[in-house]
Amino acid sequence: MSEKQKPGISGGWLVAPAMVWLALFALAPLVFLVTVSFWTASMFGLTSSFSLQSYASLAGDSIYIRVLGNTVKIAILTTALSLLVSYPIALFLASLKGKRKMLFVILLFLPFWTSYVVRTFVWMPILGRSGLINATLMSMGIIDRPLDNLVFNEGAVYLGLVYVYTLYMTLPIYLALDKLDPALIEAANDLGASAWQTFRKIILPLTLPAVWSGCTMVFLLCCGAFVTPRLLGGPSSQMFGNIISSQFLDAGNWPLGAALSVVLMVVVMLSLYLASRRFGFQSLFMGRH
């Protein structure tokens, strides 16, 4: 297509304001953070000379490594759980038509459009000592003392994370399923494929990029989790986000907090790199067209 240059504002100028904003408030602060991670903190404030002290104390204290490992484990397991929970519901939504489909898509969306602080908090009066589950079990006479081990542990963190993040898995898979050509599935049926064969050989491979994009999104969100482990987790199920926030908001040790943030960023970037090798970086976020 040989298109002559149209008179008008060049695309670069229109894109510039957004790029300048992000350079100023997303990229530059990141460079700052990396810089500060090489500073030192004392009771008199920050010392801006190069030092590896924060990274040394990070590597020297096994608790940071342990929590990082635990965070990655929780993120991976939550991602797997979300996939298991989401795929069938995406199939269900894609199988609906017309007004019913619209209704259920809206029903799926609505909770995710409301405060996730509230949606996390509400599990406390469900799982807690005087929570819904304990009250129900006691009134049925199954237990006579409330169970204390339903909340403030890792299991509750999984539940809370799946609850707040599962839409990020469901949505891309549903959109991919919805775009599938029904003729492909009819053809498979006509050729005598079983439901499982059709799924395994046609539906799953065609929705794999969407699955991958959902997994990436949920994994990223879990890596940065802070609210859920703080409210629903116990002392041993705190995640990396909680350690980072306590350095900034409680301990006031910016260099160590910055070093911890850099470590988390590196983990996230590495996983993104690995994830994008398969289908490309942009398709993780924008789908394939």
Tell me which residues in 116-175 interact with another protein (CB under 8 A).
116-119, 121-126, 128-132, 134-136, 139, 163
10 makes contact with another protein (CB under 8 A): yes
Using the rule CB under 8 A, give the single segment among 55-63, 148-156, 207-215, 279-287 that binds another protein: 279-287
28 makes contact with another protein (CB under 8 A): yes
Give how many residues touch another protein by CB under 8 A: 101
CA–CA distance, 186 with 182 (Å, rounded to integer): 6
CA–CA distance, 143 with 153 (Å, rounded to integer): 20
Angle in degrees, CA 70, 71, 76, rounded to 5? 100
6 makes contact with another protein (CB under 8 A): yes
Judged by CB under 8 A, which of 70, 72, 257, 275 binds another protein? 257
44 makes contact with another protein (CB under 8 A): no
Query: Which phi and psi angles does 41 have, rounded to 5°?
Result: -110, 140
268 makes contact with another protein (CB under 8 A): yes
- For the bound state, the minimum distance from the C-beta of residue 78 to another protein, rounded and expressed in Å, comes to 14
Site for another protein in 209-228 (CB under 8 A): 220-221, 223-227
- Residue whose CB is less far from another protein, 116 or 279: 116
2 makes contact with another protein (CB under 8 A): no
- Residue whose CB is less far from another protein, 57 or 101: 101
- Residue whose CB is less far from another protein, 111 or 205: 111
Torsion of CA 176, 179, 183, 189, to 10 degrees: 30
- Residue whose CB is less far from another protein, 189 or 236: 189
Q: Is 47 helix (H, G, I), strand (E, B) or coil?
A: strand
- For the bound state, the minimum distance from the C-beta of residue 274 to another protein, rounded and expressed in Å, comes to 14
- Residue whose CB is less far from another protein, 83 or 135: 135
Site for another protein in 98-117 (CB under 8 A): 102, 104, 106-111, 113-117
Going by C-alpha positions, the residue among 35, 67, 25, 220 that lies closest to residue 154 is 67
60 makes contact with another protein (CB under 8 A): no
Query: Which phi and psi angles does 42 have, rounded to 5°?
Result: -135, 180
Q: What string of DSSP letters covers 2-45?
A: --PPPSS--HHHHHHHHHHHHIIIIIHHHHHHHHHTTSEEETTE
Q: Which residues face 41 on adjacent strands? A: 46
CA–CA distance, 46 with 234 (Å, rounded to integer): 33
Going by C-alpha positions, the residue among 93, 24, 38 that lies closest to residue 262 is 38
Cα Rg, the chain, nearest whole Å: 24
